[in-house]
Amino acid sequence: MGAISSGGVDFGVATSYTIPEKGFQYKVYYPSPLMLVVPPGHRLANRETVKISELKDENFLSIYRNSSRAINRIQQICAKGNFYPRIVKETNCLSTLFMLISANMGISIHFQLHKDACKHDLRFVPLDLEDGSQEENEDGAALIWKKDSTNPALQPFIRCVDVCIERFRQEAERRPPL
């Protein structure tokens, strides 16, 4: 965010939860569901899905509140299971968070898109929110820019990204499954 804030660059790519609430705009171009992240020996590691209420007695790990909206979203999801998450550790680095999970220090809820980048042997398990709703994929990887940008290329660039993403999705839909 620093290079965008200082005007060094006009656009960046970030996980939508890391974008500050003020001063920036963003467009999610790769939506990703939130999933339970646990070590392989965890009691819920091999489940098809996990009900959110089953996590009420767990220790949670998260990205620092001041650098991410992740804790707020975890709290909203846990509220659907009628509990408040017990956050035992916060870190400013996703790889550190995954290392702590692999060391059995707690669990987390994170984007499925991070699964391929995870260097640790962790399980990403779909969540059942128990209220009949599906987790909305309104967050994920996002294009970010300054809200007060005066760059005349801003809107044409965003439209170009939209067109490219739509073409990619259409091509992906036409490809046979692996």
Summary mean pLDDT of the chain: 86
Give 55-103 pLDDT, tens digit per residue.
999 999 988 776 567 778 888 888 988 999 999 999 888 889 999 999 9
135: pLDDT strictly greater than 70: no
Interval 29-53 mean pLDDT:
92
Percent of the chain with pLDDT over 70: 92
Question: What pTM was estimated for this model as a whole?
Answer: 0.79
> What is the C-alpha to C-alpha distance for residues 28 and 178, in angstroms, rounded to an integer?
26
Q: Distance between CA atoms of 108 and 110, rounded to whole angstroms?
A: 6
In DSSP terms, which residues pair with 61 in a beta bridge? 89
41 has a pLDDT exceeding 90 = yes
Task: Give residue 133's pLDDT.
Answer: 59
Of 10-24, 57-71, 111-125, 127-141, minimum mean pLDDT range? 127-141
Selection from 33, 15, 32 nearest residue 128 by Cα: 33
- The mean pLDDT value for 14-43 works out to 88
Q: 82 or 7: which carries more pLDDT confidence?
A: 82
Q: With bands split at pLDDT 50, 70 and 90, how would you rate the model's confidence at 136?
A: low
Q: Where does residue 143 rank: exposed (0-12), middle (13-18), buried (19+ CB within 10 A)? A: buried
Cβ-in-10-Å burial (0-12, 13-18, 19+) of 127 comes to: buried
Would you give the DSSP letter of residue 80?
A: T
